[in-house]
Amino acid sequence: MKNLYANYISSFKGLSTEVWWLALITLINRAGTMVIPFLSLYLINDVGLTLENVGIVMSCFGAGSLIGSWLGGTLTDKFGYYKVMLFSLFSSGILFVALQFLHTYESICVGIFILMIVADCFRPAAFVALIAYSKPENKTRSVTLIRLAINLGFSAGPAVGGIIITSLGYVGLFWVDGLTCILASILLLVVLNPKKARVMDSSKNENPKSAYGDGYYWVFVAAMVLFGFCFVQYFSTVPIYYSDIYKLDEFKIGLLLAMNGFLIFAFEMPLIKYLEKLNHSKTNYVIFGLALVGLSFLLLNLFSWAGILVIGMLLMTLGEMIAFPFSNAIAMERSKRGNQGEYMALYSIAFSISHIFAHNYGMHSIANNGYTLTWNVITIISVLGILLLLLLKRIAITNK
């Protein structure tokens, strides 16, 4: 146990103070986003929308995220990551609070769309900040630390969210979301002001290339769209599956989602450090991670035992733990070729596109075709993502 603890602690060594501050800001921000995993249940149970309506709302969620990611990348290249992060955190806090006052289907669609434009400006800006605050050899672990912060907040968020829903209703979640975003913006203002923060990697490409003309990167982005298509089901359709088929209440669903965050908090950093030592390609790790996520959906159809929900969550979590840090590291390395904001925006946009189509497809599919066919299609999509990543490896070999 002593050696395990020592190895765990050593996996965090060498990261800059600025990366730790960025992780704390992310933790505070993410801990408050407990509305998101319960959003589909809120729209059905409290607002009274149909599954098809919820699918459209989630598509608005994804469309806003896509525009926000593109806008965030563009603004980051023009004004710098610090100003964009500060604007996004503070403004999205206000918008989260305001969202609770929208009660019609149309107003919710518009509100979610605007909220996500503002909120997801943060993502490409934060990625570029991470590049600047990290030494080249520490970038994958820096990404992992940020993900650890996200999931530590997410492990507490759903569990607390379930308690808040039980005692205060869904409205209380919107206040928590908004206030934590504003708190994160204040912390950013204090600790990561450009006058105080140290830049660890300031290398600049004198002749930057546009990410939009990088064919190799587009194949990678397409694979990430398919990965995201599978992954995001765990935060929209899968909670409904838990409730509809296995009759779990919000508190138990929150605990299942919290298990995901806790496992990432406990094991992702040492796992990534171990995998880096094995010296396999980052693309291979992303392939393996996507395969595990696809397998988690296949198992839901093969077994009716309630315990398979835990096993499925474990497989999805392990796949996520492997695929996200290494795919993010691939994007960060590639961004050195040109405009970093554009490259990191495209990486974020990949998952925004997933939000647009995945939630809508999932909601309509379970309403019209049932869960079995839906999970089979999601499994096939994961296989297509793996094939694209294998094509990426072939392109890389050809270009050498």
**What is the model's pLDDT at position 358?**
86
Sign, CA dihedral 374-376-381-386, equals positive
pTM of the model: 0.75
Q: Which residue's structure tokens are 């998101």?
A: 36
Task: Look up residue 329 and give its two tokens.
Answer: 């590291």
Mean pLDDT in residue range 172-183: 82
Question: Among residues 207, 205, 391, 183, which one has the least CA distance to residue 283?
Answer: 391
314 pLDDT band, cuts 50/70/90, is very high
Rounded Cα gap, residues 294 and 160, in angstroms: 29
pLDDT in tens, 133-150: 887 777 778 877 877 777
Task: Look up residue 31 and give its two tokens.
Answer: 């801990």
Rounded Cα gap, residues 353 and 255, in angstroms: 28
Rounded Cα gap, residues 318 and 231, in angstroms: 12
Task: Look up residue 18 and give its two tokens.
Answer: 């600025």
Angle, helices 250-278/35-45, rounded to nearest 10 degrees: 150
Mean pLDDT in residue range 282-299: 94
Q: Are 181 and 86 in contact (CB under 8 A)?
A: no
Rounded Cα gap, residues 117 and 72, in angstroms: 9
Q: Are 100 and 390 in contact (CB under 8 A)?
A: no
**DSSP calls for 96-145:** HHHHTT--SHHHHHHHHHHHHHHHTTHHHHHHHHHHHHS-GGGHHHHHHH
pLDDT in tens, 191-242: 887 776 676 656 555 666 777 888 889 999 999 999 999 998 887 788 888 8
Tell me the CB-side half-sphere exposure of residue 224, using CA atoms within 13 A.
26
385 pLDDT band, cuts 50/70/90, is very high
Q: Which residue's structure tokens are 């004198």?
A: 206
Residue 157 pLDDT greater than 80, yes or no? no
Backbone angles phi, psi at 61, to 5 degrees: -55, -50
The mean-pLDDT minimum among 71-75, 121-125, 152-156, 354-358 falls in 152-156
Mean pLDDT in residue range 260-280: 82
DSSP for residue 13: T
Residue 32 pLDDT greater than 60, yes or no? no
What is the Cα 272 distance to its own chain's centre?
A: 17
The chain-wide mean pLDDT, for the chain, equals 83
Residue 19 pLDDT greater than 80, yes or no? yes
Q: How far is CA 105 from CA 18, 40, 44, 60, 300, in A?
A: 42, 13, 11, 11, 32
Rounded Cα gap, residues 290 and 226, in angstroms: 9
